[in-house]
Amino acid sequence: SQTIHQWPATLVQPVGSPLSLECTVEGTSNPNLYWYRQAAGRGLQLLFYSVGIGQISSEVPQNLSASRPQDRQFILSSKKLLLSDSGFYLCACKLPPGQGNEKLFFGSGTQLSVL
Amino acid sequence: EDQVTQSPEALRLQEGESSSLNCSYTVSGLRGLFWYRQDPGKGPEFLFTLYSAGEEKEKERLKATLTKKESFLHITAPKPEDSATYLCAVQAGTNAGKSTFGDGTTLTVKP
Contacts of A101 in chain B (CB under 8 A): 49
pLDDT (0 to 100) of residue A2: 83
For the residues B3-11, what does the mean pLDDT come to?
97
Dist CA B9 CA A54 (whole Å): 38
Quote the CA–CA distance of B93 and B55 in Å, as a whole number: 18
Whether the Cβ atoms of residue A23 and residue A75 lie closer than 8 Å to each other: yes
Q: How far is CA B31 from CA A21, B98, B99, in A?
A: 30, 10, 10
Q: Which amino acid is at A105?
A: F
**What mean pLDDT is reported for chain A?**
92
Closest residue to B42, CB basis, from A4, A103, A108: A108
Cα–Cα distance, A59 to B106 (Å, whole number) = 27
Question: Which among A97, A102, A111 is the nearest to B32, CB-wise?
Answer: A102
Partner-chain contact A102 B49, CB within 8 Å:
yes
Check if the beta carbon of residue B76 is closer than 8 Å to that of residue B89: no
Closest-CA residue of B relative to A104 is B46
Are the beta carbons of B77 and B16 closer than 8 angstroms?
A: yes
Q: Residue B94: its pLDDT value, please? A: 66
Please judge whether B44 and A49 are an interchain contact, meaning their C-beta atoms are less than 8 angstroms apart. no
For B87, which of A43, A46, A57 is closest by C-beta distance? A43
Cβ neighbors of A102 (< 8 A, separation 6 or more) are A94, A95, B31, B32, B34, B49, B91, B97
Dihedral through CA A49, CA A65, CA B28, CA B104, nearest 10? 90
pLDDT at A42: 86
Residues of A near B (CB-CB distance < 8 A)? Answer: 4, 6, 32, 34, 36, 41-46, 49, 51, 57, 59, 90, 92, 94, 97, 101-109, 111
Among the residue ranges B3-17, B56-70, B80-94, the one predicted with the least confidence is B80-94
pLDDT at residue B95 in the model = 60
First to last CA, chain A: 37
- What integer best gives the mean pLDDT of chain B? 94
Task: Determine whether the interchain pair B96/A108 forms a contact, defined as Cβ–Cβ distance below 8 Å.
Answer: no
Q: Burial level of A53, CB count in 10 A (0-12/13-18/19+)?
A: middle
Between CA B75 and CA A115 the distance in angstroms is 40
Mean pLDDT of all residues in B66-71: 96
Query: What b/e sequence results for B61-73 when a residue is b if at least 16 CB atoms lie within 10 Å of its CB, and e otherwise?
Result: ebbbbbeeebbbb
